[in-house]
Structure 1
Amino acid sequence: MLRTHTCGELRVNHVNTEVTLCGWVQRTRNKGSVIWVDLRDRYGITQLIFEEGSTTTELMTQATKLGREFVVKASGTVVERLSKNDKIETGDIEVKVSALEVLNKSNVPPFTIEDDTDGGDELRMKYRYLDLRRGPVRNNLQLRHRMMQETRSYLDDQGFMEVETPVLIKSTPEGARDFVVPSRMNEGEFYALPQSPQTFKQLLMVSGMDRYFQIVKCFRDEDLRADRQPEFTQIDCELSFIDREDVLTIFEGMIKHLFMSLKGIEIGDIDRMSYDDAMRLYGSDKPDTRFDMQFVELNGVAQGKGFNVFDASEIVVGICAKGCSNYTRKQLDALTDYVKKPQVGAKGLVYVKCNEDGSFKSSVDKFYTQEDLKSWAEEMNASAGDLLLVLSGDKDHTRKAMNELRLHMGDALNLRNKDEYKALWVLDFPLLEWDEETTRFHAMHHPFTSPVPQDLDKLESAPGEVKANAYDMVINGVEAGGGSIRIHDRTIQQRMFKQLGFTDEEAQDQFGFLMDAFEYGAPPHGGIAFGFDRLCALFGGSDSIRDFIAFPKNNSGRDVMIDSPSPVDRVQLDELGISLK
């Protein structure tokens, strides 16, 4: 080893110890007779000191020539600092340098490599190897590493076996778009990169593996945003001879273990909510339950009073913002503008102020009496000083718009504290959802999800009413993971494919290998997959998973550091039998 210690481990008990450190020069401070150098590595920062009188002239000259990000090796004696720095863990000591070697010089970096940098996102992604030297980014990857180790430890203790599944697989028509890979050996045919190891983990259950897991790369060719990347990582799990309750219990335990081991937080019991209740009370299948503001339907008290906007609506729904009756007209107009944004999509907003004197002031006073508005307040359990916000329209669209308004108000009132965590199981999703464009049903999760046993007879007669034996874990309004009990019977799987519009031939062509496997003693099984990148972001208090991926893509799916994707040589395309227009 070139060093005896790292730049993060020296303390007062090391005083008078001879040490050798290696690292990068973060900054230098030259006071003429004294030069200080902050030396940084992955583990921390240690201050080096060069002083006239006790340091040779040659060393002083060397120190004056050090630039930012020079890689150096410094040997010397640990001494106690006169002026201590409580902002770094090594702030009680410094190293009086007796020998200095420049291992490599550096160009001036394109941005400051400090916790607070002057580099923008694109610049830092172009020079990601430099951005990774910064403390916050390094800490994010350390969190990711620890979460990976703790996940493996927990699942190993629960009897899971880690098994790798193929990366080059077969393209399937369900789900998001596949990334496809041409085969040179089989011209005109293509592999696909896996969106999930779904069929392989089910085959592992058929093979008797019993409990499988994998921390696995998955790929989806879809539009990107802060919580999506074209390649992402899942904690992928499958179990045999279990029911839904077994799965929920085991993975509640995993989430509790991760919170305790990584953050020292006891999150307590994890609530459960049906999909129908989640949509009715929050307008979302991933509700943020850190704060209240549940939806209250007002059809019974708001319709039939001559206000055509409400009378013609399928639903009139409101939320109560506690203590907000003092909102100004400017603030209320801003809320109205917000709900009219295309991404929210409401046509307008009705408000009712519950004044401190017991009276009510609304934007629809000419249609509703004080008694009418009082009945609204009673329906919504509102008190003096509260503000009622009401939307109307068709059910699905209005609930989605109200969900956006609720989250907006949660942010405005500081009710969505990133240091507070609330986990929730959402259960009993619809098995199928109707698509107007394709005029057929699609699987809400995937084609291998089992219906709840009591709804199996409805699969042909009332497919839209069938509930899935599925479950999602939601943490702070983010879908952290999801899974289901699987179909393990060939006949039921064939019935499911028919409801999805597959002919027998198409089902056999796409998934015959799985249905054939079911003929050889497939056990009852189910599983779950957690978005590993999303979990890291949640635990790290970030909205973006990119902060927790070593080399992420940008919002266009590009790696600007290595300039990928990029054209390939014409010879390669010819070998693959691919011609470009």
Structure 2
Amino acid sequence: MKLSTLYRECTLNQISEKEIGREMKVAGWVENIRDHGGVSFIDLRDMYGVLQIVMRDTSLLKGINKEDCVSISGKIEKRDEETYNPKIPTGTIELEAHSVEILGKVYGQLPFEIVTSKEIREDLRLKYRFLDLRNRKVIDNMIFRSNVILFLREKMIQMGFLEVQTPILCASSPEGARDYIVPSRHHKGKFYALPQAPQQYKQLLMVAGVDKYFQIAPCFRDEDARADRSPGEFYQLDFEMSFATQEDVFRAGEEVLTATFEKFAPEGYEVTKAPYPVISYKQAMLEFGTDKPDLRNPLRIIDLSEFFSRCSFKPFQNKTVRAIKIHGHQSKGFQEKLLKFAMDIGMAGLGYLEVLEDLSYKGPIDKFIPDELKAEMRQLAGLEKEDTIFFIADKEEKAAMLAGQIRSELGQRLDICEKNAYRFCFVNDFPMFEKDPQTKQIGFTHNPFSMPQGGLEALNTKDPLEILAYQYDIVCNGVELSSGAVRNHNLDIMVKAFEIAGYDEEVLKQKFGALYNAFQFGAPPHAGMAPGVDRMIMLLRNEENIREIIPFPMSGTAQDLMCGAPNVVTEQQLREVHIKVRV
């Protein structure tokens, strides 16, 4: 695109040694000033690069401050060889300034140095995010984000998916405790909700006959922040397919994610090749202690509950006992630090045994294992000489969680996790229902629109807590990238599933009327998923905090510190939407 020459003739990345001797006009921000008395230098920065400006007429520097926005006219010259800067593409040239125009002046003191902004307090960075984004590393994340989203869009279109934008103002649902609600001016006392996901709309598109849909979907959820979760809003690659099975969705997800990660992964990184490993929820909780397994960690958890039911160690009696084997005996200091970690996460202690040269055991619980059972434990745990095995005992759910945390800690402390790799897997066969620990009522575990395995017969004849759903996640390096499901497209199954979860048919009609009606008019089988765009980019950029890859993120307390949201509104605004605030 040809630029107007009012402020500049080109961007700084377009200047090279070919322009030596040319009169040019450039524009950008003053990154640095070096006044050497008889000659002064400016490092001029725009979005694309940096160019050194030399001012032999030092009067041109008068009134110029760092981060002023300026337009400079002059001649491109070759730098003296001893002053070359190999760190920038324009490091062999400079522009001798003949005139300078200040386009935008800095008033007062800068809140921080741009080049070191990533090192300062996050709240200050977010308050002045427009300055933080001038930092090369920060804006590079945004450019990278743009490139990834462009690639995702082009890849999905290439795969035959149709891009459709679904509504932002929608209806709140019974499961909508995390909804952002928007009052209606025209309909007194009624509210819209911002979509937590385009769930119903994409299913309705399938009923409408759209074969394959996708969008880069904005989603809104009133959740607390985490390192891998931004409060307020996030984006996902939402897609749905008609006449599709779980395996069809797996193949589509593998194709787009493998292509994206292979294209944008840092140099030298390996990416899991399709087909990805498929791990059941039950297996994941046993072997990894989490439904978000990090496959870079080679350690696996085993269950020794039945074995210890035949031993005399009382703390393990009537408990779920999980164990983790590592190779090598560890120092006393290592054991003490690991015990402290175990107690910090809520364990009463951390039992262990070391396998000696003669395959006997050394450790505090050896005496509680009958001699005739010791060989059996070696076989169950695959123990060899110089191995160490750790034990975690508690109620089943807590034992799994604690074992997962010990596994992760051991992987880090022993430095045995695979480096420079993106390891993907699917986790599937999630329970359809769960019992609320407080109310003891049965409710949906995940997505209420999932197809139960076994269909209507399973809902009518099986214990609800034993019914599995055609639900699945994609996990990469211990981060949940996506959830998805084969959808329930059968009205009878839908009515029964919601009945088990405590919603009668009238509630179903009222809260999910669109789907209830649509499923009476020839709904096709359909399935889909929605990988998180923000989390993908966070992984690809090796950022520890998701806010680093979002242009204008909320703070950890769900505040826009730059624009002051959330804020108060006027009484008149409240009256227009029929709202009265209770303080």
Question: Once structures 1 and 2 are overlaid, which stretch shifts more, 81-90 or 223-232?
Answer: 81-90
SS at match of 1:481: strand
Q: Tell me what 2:254 maps to.
A: 252
Residue 396 of structure 1: CA displacement? 1.1
Residue 423 of structure 1: CA displacement? 0.5
Measured at CA, do residues 64 and 321 of structure 1 come closer, stay the same or move farther in structure 2, by a change above 3 Å? farther
Following superposition of structure 1 onto structure 2, how do residues 80-99 of structure 1 map, counting pairs within 5 Å? Answer: 80-82=79-81, 83-99=83-99
Q: Given that residues 174 and 446 in structure 1 are in contact (C-alpha distance below 8 angstroms), is that contact kept between their aligned partners in structure 2?
A: no
Identity of aligned residues (%): 35
Q: Measure, in 1, the Cα distance between the counterparts of 2:381 and 2:520.
A: 55
Following superposition of structure 1 onto structure 2, how do residues 302-381 of structure 1 map, counting pairs within 5 Å? Answer: 302-313=308-319, 315-323=320-328, 325-328=329-332, 330-341=333-344, 344-354=345-355, 360-368=361-369, 376-381=377-382
Q: Tell me what 1:398 maps to.
A: 399
Q: Tell me what 2:441 maps to.
A: 440
Q: Given that residues 297 and 408 in structure 2 are in contact (C-alpha distance below 8 angstroms), is that contact kept between their aligned partners in structure 1?
A: no
Q: Tell me what 1:151 maps to.
A: 152
Query: Is 1:31 paired with 2:41?
Result: no
C-alpha distance after superposition, 1:361-400 (max 9, x if no partner): 3233453589866764553334444432211111111110
Q: Measure, in 1, the Cα distance between the counterparts of 2:117 and 2:376.
A: 52
Q: Measure, in 1, the Cα distance between the counterparts of 2:146 and 2:387.
A: 46
Query: Is 1:239 paired with 2:241?
Result: yes
Query: Is 1:66 paired with 2:67?
Result: no
Q: Measure, in 2, the Cα distance between the counterparts of 1:357 and 1:91.
A: 66
Following superposition of structure 1 onto structure 2, how do residues 41-56 of structure 1 map, counting pairs within 5 Å? Answer: 41-50=46-55, 55-56=56-57
Q: Measure, in 1, the Cα distance between the counterparts of 2:358 and 2:11.
A: 66
Q: Given that residues 146 and 262 in structure 1 are in contact (C-alpha distance below 8 angstroms), is that contact kept between their aligned partners in structure 2?
A: no
Query: What is the CA RMSD across the aligned residues, in angstroms?
Result: 2.2
C-alpha distance after superposition, 1:115-162 (max 9, x if no partner): 564421111011111111111211111111011100100111111111
Q: Measure, in 2, the Cα distance between the counterparts of 1:529 and 1:78.
A: 52
Residue 286 of structure 1: CA displacement? 1.1
C-alpha distance after superposition, 1:332-351 (max 9, x if no partner): 2222222223xx33222112
Following superposition of structure 1 onto structure 2, how do residues 456-467 of structure 1 map, counting pairs within 5 Å? Answer: 456-462=456-462, 463-467=464-468
Residue 357 of structure 1: CA displacement? 8.0
Q: Tell me what 1:213 maps to.
A: 214
SS at match of 1:88: coil
Q: Given that residues 76 and 93 in structure 2 are in contact (C-alpha distance below 8 angstroms), is that contact kept between their aligned partners in structure 1?
A: no
Query: Is 1:271 paired with 2:274?
Result: no
Question: Once structures 1 and 2 are overlaid, which stretch shifts more, 7-16 or 495-504?
Answer: 7-16
Residue 442 of structure 1: CA displacement? 2.1
Measured at CA, do residues 438 and 80 of structure 1 come closer, stay the same or move farther in structure 2, by a change above 3 Å? same
Q: Given that residues 259 and 267 in structure 1 are in contact (C-alpha distance below 8 angstroms), is that contact kept between their aligned partners in structure 2?
A: no
SS at match of 1:8: helix
C-alpha distance after superposition, 1:461-487 (max 9, x if no partner): 222221111221100011101111111
SS at match of 1:155: helix
Q: Tell me what 1:503 maps to.
A: 504
Residue 70 of structure 1: CA displacement? 1.0
Structure 2 gaps of 5+ residues are none
SS at match of 1:85: coil
Q: Given that residues 419 and 541 in structure 1 are in contact (C-alpha distance below 8 angstroms), is that contact kept between their aligned partners in structure 2?
A: no
Residue 420 of structure 1: CA displacement? 1.5
Residue 189 of structure 1: CA displacement? 0.9
Q: Measure, in 2, the Cα distance between the counterparts of 1:326 and 1:17.
A: 68
Measured at CA, do residues 380 and 30 of structure 1 come closer, stay the same or move farther in structure 2, by a change above 3 Å? farther
Residue 250 of structure 1: CA displacement? 1.2
SS at match of 2:227: coil
Measured at CA, do residues 478 and 117 of structure 1 come closer, stay the same or move farther in structure 2, by a change above 3 Å? closer
Q: Tell me what 1:296 maps to.
A: 302
Query: Is 1:286 paired with 2:292?
Result: yes
Measured at CA, do residues 374 and 99 of structure 1 come closer, stay the same or move farther in structure 2, by a change above 3 Å? farther
SS at match of 1:445: coil
Measured at CA, do residues 331 and 176 of structure 1 come closer, stay the same or move farther in structure 2, by a change above 3 Å? farther
SS at match of 1:122: helix
Measured at CA, do residues 282 and 21 of structure 1 come closer, stay the same or move farther in structure 2, by a change above 3 Å? same
Structure 1 gaps of 5+ residues are none
Q: Tell me what 2:78 maps to.
A: 79
Question: Once structures 1 and 2 are overlaid, which stretch shifts more, 565-574 or 349-358?
Answer: 349-358
Question: Once structures 1 and 2 are overlaid, which stretch shifts more, 407-416 or 476-485?
Answer: 407-416
